[in-house]
């Protein structure tokens, strides 16, 4: 299946469940930006995307780009899992605490190194890999070491 580059996110990411609260996340992916909803009242980000701010219940939310830098909070390797385009097992995953806000975390694969789990506490940055013809966010460790 091929989707043209101006196709909507649900056609570019057919394996990714999405709804009206998080479709803007994937619109960001298409232009290689990691965007999460940020509250216009209390200025906090949250994830997964919701229609109201989970901290102050404001609906003044705007998907706002993040730097993609952070620290590995949790690391694991999946040895089995559902088939998906571009996914081979063992499949390394990291949950990264993003630099912008304590507790704000994003989980994806890590592209450098082997299938060994990434080291918790490592500094990482976001990179974009191609998966089934669409940009997909991933992390790689940076030389900065622990932050
Ligand atoms: Zn808020």
Task: Express each pLDDT in 87-117 by its tens digit.
Answer: 899 999 999 999 999 999 999 999 986 657 7
Q: Which two tokens stand for residue 116?
A: 């060994």
CA of 70 to the centre of ligand 1 (A): 22
Helices (H), the chain: 9-12, 23-30
Q: Which two tokens stand for residue 126?
A: 């976001």
Task: Express each pLDDT in 8-51 by its tens digit.
Answer: 999 999 888 899 889 999 999 999 999 999 999 999 999 999 99
Q: In the structure, what pLDDT confidence band is assigned to residue 3 with cuts at 50, 70 and 90?
A: low
Whether the CB-CB separation of 89 and 79 falls below 8 Å is answered with yes
CA of 63 to the centre of ligand 1 (A): 13
Cα four-point dihedral sign 29, 128, 96, 123: negative
Domain boundaries, the chain: 9-141
CA of 147 to the centre of ligand 1 (A): 27
Q: In the structure, what pLDDT confidence band is assigned to residue 147 with cuts at 50, 70 and 90?
A: very low
CA of 46 to the centre of ligand 1 (A): 9
């Amino acid at each position: 299946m091929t989707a043209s580059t101006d196709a909507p996110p649900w056609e570019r990411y057919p394996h990714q469940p999405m709804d009206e609260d998080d479709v803007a996340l994937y619109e960001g992916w298409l232009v290689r930006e990691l965007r999460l909803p940020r509250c216009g009242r209390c200025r906090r980000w949250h994830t997964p995307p919701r229609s109201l701010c989970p901290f102050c219940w404001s609906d003044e939310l705007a998907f706002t780009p993040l730097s993609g830098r952070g620290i590995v909070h949790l690391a694991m390797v999946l040895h089995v899992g559902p088939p998906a385009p571009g996914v081979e097992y063992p499949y390394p995953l990291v949950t990264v605490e993003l630099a912008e806000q304590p507790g704000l975390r994003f989980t994806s694969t890590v592209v450098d190194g082997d299938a060994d789990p990434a080291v918790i506490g490592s500094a990482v940055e976001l990179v974009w890999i191609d998966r089934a013809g669409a940009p997909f966010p991933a992390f790689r460790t940076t030389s900065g070491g622990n932050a």
